[in-house]
Amino acid sequence: MPDIAPAGYYHAEGDPEGTVRYWDGANWSGEPEPTRDHPDLRGLTLDTTSVSPALSDDNSRYGGLGIRIGASAIDFAIGSIIVLPFQASVLLAGLGLSLYWVVMVVMIAKFGGSPGKLAAGLRVTKIDGITTPPGDRESFMRTLPGLLGLIPVVGGLISLGIGLASIRYISTDPERRSIYDRMGGTRVVYKNRLS
C-alpha cells in the first residue's frame, strides 16, 4: 500500500492548474479552489496512486535526531537561565518551570519554533509540513507533555520516559515525528526545505 499524505489542501491530479482541494487522508472532498485562496500552499500535488513527495523515502526535509537534540540543549540552557532565579523553594521552582513552558508555547505559536529550533534552522509546522507558525492550539498541545515534568516526585521520570520515546520515534518514523509532534499534530522541518 502506498504512503498517503496527511489531510490538507493539495493540487489533485486531473484538476485545473492553479487549484487545490481538500484531501481528508483517504478521499478528495469539495470542488477545486484557486490556490490564491490558500497562500500557505506551495503548489503541492498529491498523487494517491504512488508515494507522496511529502512522505517519500527522502525524509531529509524533516529535522533529524542530532539537530533536534542540539536544539533541545539550547532550550535546556535557556530554561535553566529562566528557572535558576526561582530555586529558593519548590513552589518558586514550579513557577519558574511554568514560566518557561509559557515561553515555549508562545514561541512556537507565534514564531514557529522554540529558541533552540529557530537557532538550528528548524521550524515547527502544522501537520501539512508547510504552514508555520502552527498556531495556538497546535503549540499548546505540542508542549502539553512538558507539563508532566512538573508533577512532584515522578515528573522527572515521566519526562525521561517521554524523551526516550521521542528519541525512538524520531529515529524510526519516516517523518521523524516525536511524542510532542504527535500530540500537537505538528512536524519539525528544516526552514530551507519549507518551499
- Counted domains in the chain: 2
Cell (9 digits) for 181 = 509532534
- What's the rounded Cα separation, in Å, for the pair 180 and 162? 9
Do 42 and 110 fall into the same domain? no
Name which residue leads in pLDDT, 40 or 164: 164
Q: Please check the confidence at residue 53 and state whether its pLDDT lies above 50.
A: no
The 3 state secondary structure assigned to the chain is: CCCCCCCEEEEECCCCCCEEEEECCCCEEEEEEEHHHCCCCCCCEECCCCCCHHHCCCCCCECCHHHHHHHHHHHHHHHHHHHHHHCCCHHHHHHHHHHHHHHHHHHHHHHCCCHHHHHCCEEEEECCCCCCCCCHHHHHHHHHHHHHHHCCCCHHHHHHHHHHHHHHHHHHCCCCCCHHHHHHCEEEEEHHHCC
Low-confidence winner among 14-23, 30-39, 133-142, 154-163 (lowest mean pLDDT): 30-39
Residue 109, domain member (yes or no): yes
In a 10 Å sphere around its CB, with 0-12 CB exposed, 13-18 middle and 19+ buried, how is residue 28 labelled? middle
**What nine digits make up the cell of 164?**
526516550
- Give 14-32 pLDDT, tens digit per residue: 888 878 777 666 667 778 8
Asked if residue 136 and residue 45 are part of one domain, the reply reads: no
51 & 143 share domain: no
Strand 45-46 relative to strand 8-12: parallel, antiparallel, unpaired?
parallel
Kindly state whether residues 34 and 81 are assigned to the same domain: no
Residue 188 included in any domain: yes
Do 51 and 71 lie in a common domain?
Answer: no
The rounded percent of the chain whose pLDDT value lies above 70 is: 81
Q: Rg for the chain (alpha carbons), in Å?
A: 19
My answer on whether 84 and 166 are in the same domain is: yes
Average pLDDT over residues 134-145: 93
**Per-residue model confidence (pLDDT) at position 51:** 33
Domain that holds residue 163: 65-193
Task: Report which of residues 54 and 38 the model is more confident about.
Answer: 38
* Residues sharing a CB contact under 8 Å with residue 140, sequence separation 6 or more, in sequence order: 105, 109, 184
Dihedral angle sign, alpha carbons of residues 92, 141, 166, 153? positive
Question: Which grid coordinates are listed for 152?
Answer: 512532584
Of 46 and 68, more confident: 68
Let me know if residue 2 belongs to a domain: no
Work out the pLDDT band at 82, boundaries 50, 70, 90.
Answer: confident
Largest separation between any pair of C-alpha atoms in the chain: 65
